[in-house]
C-alpha cells in the first residue's frame, strides 16, 4: 500500500463508477502524468490506453496548455457569462464552429458531456415550441446508448445499469434498437457491413407515436462507453434521411468522437452526415479543465433570435458556462491539435492500431474485436454467473503490468491519446495478450 493510502482516510470520497470497497482495500493511486504515461504512487509508469476517460487526446502535461491555464488564472480567474462576456470564449466558439461543416455555426458552452446532452435536449424542445410546434415533446434515444448521467442523459441513454435505480426518469422518451450484430459483424475491421436497415426502427416509433410528437433523436455516431458499437455502413445516412422526412432534429453526441478520435475533427466529417446539433466535451480541453458545448445549426439559433432585443432568448445556462480558464485551456488544446497535426497523425497510425487489435483474434475468451480510428474493443466471453468478472480481472492485471485499460461489462475498451507511437501500441497489445493468457 502506498504511503498516501496508509496515512490518509479514503472513506470520505465516494468514488464515481467504482467498486469503492475493492478500491479502498487495494488503492490504485495516480500521482503524476506526462505524455503517454501516468505515474502511480509506487513510482511505476502506467501507459495510458484510455486517454484518461476518452479525454486526454493531446497527451498529458502539454506545456502549451499548462502555460495558457496558468496565465489566464493569474489574469482573470472567473467572469460571469450571464449578461457579461470575456474574449476567449468567443474566440473558442468561433474556432470550434469553424472546424465543423457549414451551417453548424453556434456553440453554447457547458461544463461536461452530461450537461451538453441535457442542454441539447432542452434546446430541441424549446426550438419546436419557438416555431409554433410545441406538440413535439418526445425525445428518442437508442438502446445501449450513453449520454452522460443527468436525468436527460440517462433517460435517452440505453445502458440498463445507469437507469434501473433512478425511477421513471423523463416522460415521453423512447428508444430505437442498437446496432450491435455480432452474428453478422463479429471481428469486423472498421465500419461493419451489415445493419444499415436498423435505422428504420425509427419509422416504427414514428408509426407508434406520430412524427408530430417527436422533437429529436440523439445517437452517438460511435457508441463508446457501452463497449464500442459501430454504425453499420449507410446507417447514419439513413437515420438522417428519416429525420428529415418527418421534421425531427438529429443530435450527434460527439463527446467521445470529437477532436480527432476517428482521425478527423469530428465524426460528422468522418461519416459525411451533418446533424442539426452535436454535443462535445472531453477532447475540447484534452481533459485538463472541465468544459463542454452544444453546437447547433444556424436555423435553430435564428429561431430563438426574435422578439424584443433586450429579452433573454433561452432561459438556460450554468455558473461556469464559458469559464475563462477552461476557454484558455480549450484554445491552447486546439493549438496543440493543429500545430502538432494530431488528427492527421491519428489517421495515419490507425491502420497499425487496427492490425495490432485484430492480432488478438484467437486468444483465450476473445469473442469479438471492433475498431475505428483510435478506438478499440475486445469483447470477452463472460464467466457463467459472473458477468464483468473476467474483464475486471484483466483490468487489474494490466494495471499491475503497467497498462491502463477500461472495461465496460466484459468488454475492454481502448482509446489512447492521439500522440501514441507504434511502440506504445505494441506495449499495450502485447500486455493485453499476456494477460488474456493468464486469466481464467
Nine cell digits for residue 54 = 476518452
pTM of the model as a whole:
0.97
**37-80, pLDDT tens digit by residue?**
999 999 999 999 999 999 999 999 999 999 999 999 999 999 99
CB 34, CB 61: distance < 8 Å: yes
Distance CA 272, CA 199 (A): 16
* Closest among 123, 152, 133, 232 to 188, alpha carbons compared: 232
pLDDT tens-place string over residues 331-389: 999 999 999 999 999 999 999 999 999 999 999 999 999 999 999 999 999 999 999 99
Closest residue by Cα to residue 371 from 356, 386, 387: 356
Q: Are 379 and 414 in contact (CB under 8 A)?
A: no
pLDDT for the residue 366: 98
Instruction: Please tell me whether residue 28 adopts helix, strand or coil conformation.
Output: coil
Quote the cell numbers at residue 404: 491502463
| pLDDT at res. 14 | 97
Look at residues 117, 113, 114, 111 and name the one whose alpha carbon lies nearest to residue 81: 111
Q: In Å, what is the CA distance from 322 to each residue of 66, 86, 89, 134?
A: 18, 9, 6, 29
342 close to 260: Cβ distance less than 8 angstroms: yes
- Can you list the domains of the chain with their CATH numbers? 3-58+341-436 (3.90.1150.10), 66-339 (3.40.640.10)
CB 95 within 8 A of CB 334: yes
What is the grid cell recorded at 19?
Answer: 467498486
Q: Average model confidence (pLDDT) for the chain?
A: 97
* Cα separation of the two ends of the chain: 26
Q: Do residues 292 and 64 make contact, with C-beta atoms less than 8 angstroms apart?
A: no
Q: Which residues does the chain have with pLDDT short of 50? A: 1-2, 5
Residue 379 CB neighbour total at 10 angstroms = 23
- Closest Cα partner for 59 from 397, 346, 427? 346
Residue 1's pLDDT is what?
43
pLDDT, tens only, 71-107: 999 999 999 999 999 999 999 999 999 999 999 999 9
284, 371, 23, 116 alpha-carbon torsion, rounded to 10°: 30
Burial class of 9 by CB neighbour count within 10 A (0 to 12, 13 to 18, 19+): exposed
CA 325/CA 72 separation, integer angstroms: 6
What CA–CA distance (Å, rounded) separates 159 from 262? 23
For residues 176 and 156, give the distance between their C-alpha atoms in angstroms, rounded to a whole number. Answer: 10
DSSP lists the bridge partners of residue 407 as 412
Please give the grid coordinates belonging to residue 117.
Answer: 446532452
* CB 126, CB 156: distance < 8 Å: no
**pLDDT at residue 6, as a whole number:** 54
User: How confident is the model at residue 8, as a pLDDT?
Assistant: 72
* Among candidate residues 71, 195, 191, 81, the one with its CA nearest the CA of residue 142: 195
pLDDT of residue 4: 53
Cell 429579452 belongs to which residue?
Answer: 311
Amino acid at each position: 500500500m502506498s504511503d498516501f493510502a496508509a496515512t490518509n482516510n479514503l472513506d470520505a470520497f465516494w468514488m464515481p463508477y467504482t467498486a469503492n470497497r475493492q478500491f479502498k482495500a487495494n488503492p490504485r493511486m495516480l500521482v503524476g502524468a506526462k505524455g503517454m504515461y501516468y505515474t502511480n504512487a509506487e513510482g511505476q509508469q502506467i501507459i495510458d490506453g484510455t486517454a484518461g476517460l476518452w479525454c486526454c487526446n493531446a497527451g498529458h502535461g502539454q506545456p502549451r496548455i499548462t502555460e495558457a491555464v496558468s496565465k489566464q488564472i493569474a489574469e482573470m480567474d472567473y467572469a460571469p457569462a450571464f449578461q457579461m462576456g470575456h474574449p476567449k470564449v468567443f474566440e473558442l466558439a468561433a474556432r470550434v464552429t469553424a472546424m465543423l461543416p457549414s451551417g453548424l455555426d453556434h456553440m453554447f458552452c457547458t461544463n461536461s458531456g452530461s450537461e451538453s446532452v441535457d442542454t441539447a435536449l432542452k434546446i430541441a424542445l424549446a426550438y419546436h415550441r419557438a416555431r409554433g410546434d410545441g406538440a413535439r415533446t418526445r425525445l428518442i434515444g437508442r438502446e445501449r446508448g450513453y449520454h452522460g448521467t443527468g436525468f436527460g442523459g440517462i433517460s435517452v441513454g440505453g445502458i440498463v445499469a445507469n437507469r434501473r435505480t433512478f425511477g421513471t426518469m423523463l416522460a415521453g422518451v423512447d428508444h430505437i434498437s442498437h446496432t450491435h450484430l455480432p452474428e453478422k459483424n463479429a471481428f469486423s475491421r472498421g465500419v461493419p457491413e451489415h445493419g444499415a436497415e436498423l435505422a428504420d426502427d425509427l419509422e416504427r416509433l414514428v408509426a407508434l407515436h406520430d412524427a408530430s410528437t417527436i422533437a429529436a433523436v440523439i445517437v452517438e455516431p460511435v457508441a463508446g462507453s457501452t463497449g464500442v458499437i459501430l454504425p453499420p455502413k449507410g446507417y447514419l445516412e439513413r437515420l438522417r434521411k428519416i429525420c428529415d422526412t418527418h421534421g425531427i432534429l438529429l443530435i450527434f453526441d460527439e463527446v467521445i468522437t470529437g477532436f480527432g478520435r476517428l482521425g478527423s475533427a469530428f465524426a460528422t466529417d468522418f461519416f459525411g452526415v451533418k446533424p442539426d446539433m452535436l454535443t462535445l466535451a472531453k477532447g475540447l480541453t484534452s481533459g485538463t479543465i472541465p468544459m463542454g458545448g452544444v453546437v447547433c445549426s444556424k436555423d435553430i439559433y435564428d429561431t430563438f433570435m426574435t422578439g424584443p432585443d433586450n429579452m433573454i432568448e433561452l432561459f438556460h445556462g450554468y455558473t461556469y458556462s464559458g469559464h475563462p480558464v477552461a476557454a484558455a485551456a480549450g484554445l491552447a488544446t486546439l493549438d496543440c491539435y493543429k500545430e502538432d497535426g494530431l488528427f492527421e497523425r491519428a489517421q495515419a497510425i490507425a491502420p497499425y492500431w487496427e492490425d495490432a487489435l485484430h492480432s488478438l483474434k484467437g486468444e483465450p475468451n476473445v469473442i469479438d474485436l471492433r475498431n475505428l480510428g483510435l478506438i478499440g474493443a475486445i469483447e470477452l466471453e463472460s464467466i457463467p454467473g459472473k458477468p464483468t468478472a473476467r474483464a475486471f480481472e484483466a483490468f487489474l492485471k494490466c494495471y499491475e503490468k503497467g497498462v491502463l485499460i477500461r472495461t465496460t461489462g466484459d468488454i475492454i475498451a481502448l482509446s489512447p491519446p492521439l500522440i501514441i507511437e507504434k511502440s506504445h501500441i505494441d506495449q499495450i497489445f502485447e500486455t493485453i495478450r499476456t494477460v488474456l493468457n493468464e486469466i481464467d
